[in-house]
Amino acid sequence: MTTIERGRADDFRLTVLNPGGRDPAQDFSRGVPGPNDSGHAPVNFHGYAACTGGAFHRDVQRAIAEGRPVLLLLRGDFKATQRALGELKKHGLTVAVSLKETGLHQIAQQLAAPKRAALFREIVRAADSCLAATPEALPFYGTGAFIPTPYPIDDPRWDFSRPVGERSGIFVGTREWNVPSRHHLAALHLALELGEPITLFDEDPRHCRKVLATLGVPESSVRLLGRRLPYRDYLAEMARHKIVLQADKSAVPGQVAGDALLCRLPCVGGDGAVDRLGFPRTSGYGRSLGELKELATRLLADPEFHAEITAESQQRARELLSFETVARQLAQFFGSLAR
């Protein structure tokens, strides 16, 4: 793993290019949008652009017009990425590449096809370097650096915390029944053992209720929310709870934990990059379900421990995951490529 030192980011602006993707172009040069503004929230790969005051594009010509260093995302069959890389290099731009889907199960699905794997290797060799949103993704590139996805933790508009007296129950952070490494069922069963009200999101609520009924879970035990909400409303729902709980072992960037940071809540479980950096004492990295149950039980019963973990996670987020910190890391990384 390459260690990126903090450097000055005052003049650095990054263009993130998702060639042919669905997200519209977004310019962050005038600042970071608030929760009620239109456009994508400044998290995940948008966060890299937002923290540097850069831009997010899906059209290669618009990225070229920016004339800035580019983080080029590998998506789909990688052919659009390869074409975009060729165009960007023709114009002399510094380009690092990154898989858009970076969970270990997602990387396995993408690189299981020999033709796509061969194209992946060609793109990595042709780029100036690679940027990994998780430590686990870095070995697949063979070069580059790990830089976590940032969160606007110091922006008061993105503070979704609620008074302690207004919080109750457990928010289950996962929702994918069909991805084994998410361990969604395990997280739900763990939550049921804790004797607290449970909130669960599932975009196929009819199927979810059938699964729960088959497993003998009373419908009254789970508050099921069955539709996707705008991000601000999703965070508002999460913030109503005492803790966020998951058992994910997918080695993802860690948005569930990032969302918990914005809600000022402890996150239990999860082995993503943000989980490990923000919640080292409660993440699922190297811990059994039994250990997670003990941690969740203590957080629910011990207000002082709850406050301690919350304060610690906020401090670590400011030091390791804030826009200022990650912008400096990105400036140092792309500056080294230009030199």
Q: Reduced to 3 states, what is the DSSP secondary structure of residue 122? A: helix
End-to-end CA distance of the chain: 20
Return the pLDDT at 9: 58
CATH topology of domain 156-319: Rossmann fold (3.40.50)
- Report the alpha-carbon distance of residue 227 to residue 31 in Å, rounded: 30
Return the pLDDT at 249: 97
pLDDT, averaged across the chain: 94
Chain segment 23-57, per-residue pLDDT in tens: 889 999 999 999 988 889 999 999 999 999 999 99
With b meaning 16 or more CB within 10 Å and e meaning fewer, what string describes 195-226? ebbbbbbbeeeeebbebbeeeebeeeebeebe
With a cut of 80, say whether residue 5 has pLDDT above it: no
Return the pLDDT at 64: 98
Chain segment 216-253, per-residue pLDDT in tens: 988 889 999 999 999 999 999 999 999 999 999 999 99
Q: Reduced to 3 states, what is the DSSP secondary structure of residue 201? A: strand
Q: Is 152 exposed, middle or buried (0-12, 13-18, 19+ CB in 10 A)?
A: buried
Q: Is 101 exposed, middle or buried (0-12, 13-18, 19+ CB in 10 A)?
A: middle
Chain segment 73-125, per-residue pLDDT in tens: 999 999 999 999 999 999 999 999 999 999 999 999 999 999 999 999 999 99
With a cut of 90, say whether residue 337 has pLDDT above it: yes
Average pLDDT rounded to a whole number, residues 149-153: 98
Return the pLDDT at 1: 34
Structure-token pair, residue 303: 């207000």
- CATH 3.40.50.2000 residue ranges of the chain are 156-319
Structure-token pair, residue 179: 């991805």
